[in-house]
Amino acid sequence: MNWPDNGASAAARQQLAAALVAGRPSEWSDAFASVPRHMFVPRFYRQNAEGAWQSVTWGEPGYLETVYSDAALTTQLDDRGVPTSSSSQPSLMLSMLEALDATEGHRVFELGTGTGYNLGLLAHQLGDANVTSVDIDPGLIEDAVRHLQHAGFNPTVAVGDGAQGYPRRAPYDRIISTVGLHMIPQPLLHQASPGAVLVVPLGYGIMRATVTGPGHATGRFLTTPAHFMARRTNGAAPQFEAADQQSPTDSSVPAEALLGRLKFAASLALPGYSSCSWRDEGGQLEAVGLWTPDGSTAIAHVSGAVRQTGPQQIWDTVEDLDKVFGSEPARDEFVLTVTPTRQTVSYGDTDGPSWALPTAL
């Protein structure tokens, strides 16, 4: 291992830290200026113009500038070239850490160790003894331990499904997830101390919730948009061929609305949905594909023709959302209420629409 800190990395890091806080006071500016991201991301992958992934390793041209820029960095790919781990965008990490409001003496649980960089920031701020993190990937945990030790940290890390928490080190005063969730896992609430704060990606937003009792929590979304890697589960593949064979219906909702103003609301109404788009050679949108973990699939063409298949008619849900949200809604108007048996997101006042999130992990 040879990723020493030198004048160039220290200067680049301080520049990034200054740019992130942009002149305002932040309790996290010292952590970003001190913890060497390059020791956690000795190699990352980026896509060239043809979409092929290329690795960039410590010491190569452009490496240092990119590691110390406000960029999310893909750090692991699976056999099909799909990213399976990344170091999140530093400005988003900062927003989440600030929202976490962790102060001296707080015990923090992190879901999704990845490179260990966010955990290094937490350990810098709160001390090794107060931070614990879990990742589902044993290889990543092995690497993260090396990165952390190289940077001078030694927090508790473990392999497992982070949605189950880590009971041996509970209770936690603060819980942060760097993995996308579809609901708040009950085990986390049961490992939280009274009044604990959770900051977790929920759908395409960031939820900040407070624990109000055993298995109970309530909170609002931050205004910050976010799209995190989803917690690894076994969702069904999209059924595009089966959808193509269905008779089309006419939709008045423009296909592109799903990629823009309805994207966040759809992530709450259709938990765990994925989407893709088809474009012509000139880059003009032709159609949008949409599917949920139960295999329900819809293809919406820009002409208005929609074909759907599977247990749910999921484009019908998009049409319902369109009736409510003619323009992009403010994220912080969405409120989450969690009880041991139900999780509900409601919009606006008490008469506004609401959606039930899944309760099973």
Ligand X SMILES: C[S@@+](CC[C@H](N)C(=O)[O-])C[C@H]1O[C@@H](n2cnc3c(N)ncnc32)[C@H](O)[C@@H]1O
Q: Which residues bind ligand X (CB under 6 A)?
A: 84-88, 111-112, 114-115, 117-118, 134-137, 140, 161-163, 178-179, 228-229, 231-232
Which residues share a beta bridge with 308? Answer: 298
- Catalytic member of 85, 88, 177, 251: 88
Assess whether 88 carries a catalytic annotation: yes
Residues in CB range of 168: below 8 A, 6 or more apart: none
Pairwise CA distance, residues 12 & 32, whole Å:
11
Closer to ligand X by Cβ: residue 122 or 258: 122
Closer to ligand X by Cβ: residue 83 or 353: 83
> Within 10 A of 358 (CB to CB), how many other CB atoms are there?
11
Residues 12 and 65: beta-carbon distance below 8 Å? yes
CB of 341 to ligand X, least distance (A): 22
CB of 55 to ligand X, least distance (A): 17
CB of 235 to ligand X, least distance (A): 12
Task: Name the residue number minimizing CB distance to ligand X.
Answer: 114
Closer to ligand X by Cβ: residue 87 or 296: 87
Pairwise CA distance, residues 210 & 61, whole Å:
45
Closer to ligand X by Cβ: residue 114 or 187: 114
Provide the phi-psi class of 293: left if phi over 0, else alpha when psi is between -120 and 50, else beta.
Answer: alpha
CB of 71 to ligand X, least distance (A): 13
> And the tokens for 59?
């010491």
Residues 123 and 131: beta-carbon distance below 8 Å? yes
> And the tokens for 256?
């592109």
Pairwise CA distance, residues 150 & 73, whole Å:
20
Any idea which residues carry the catalytic annotation? 88
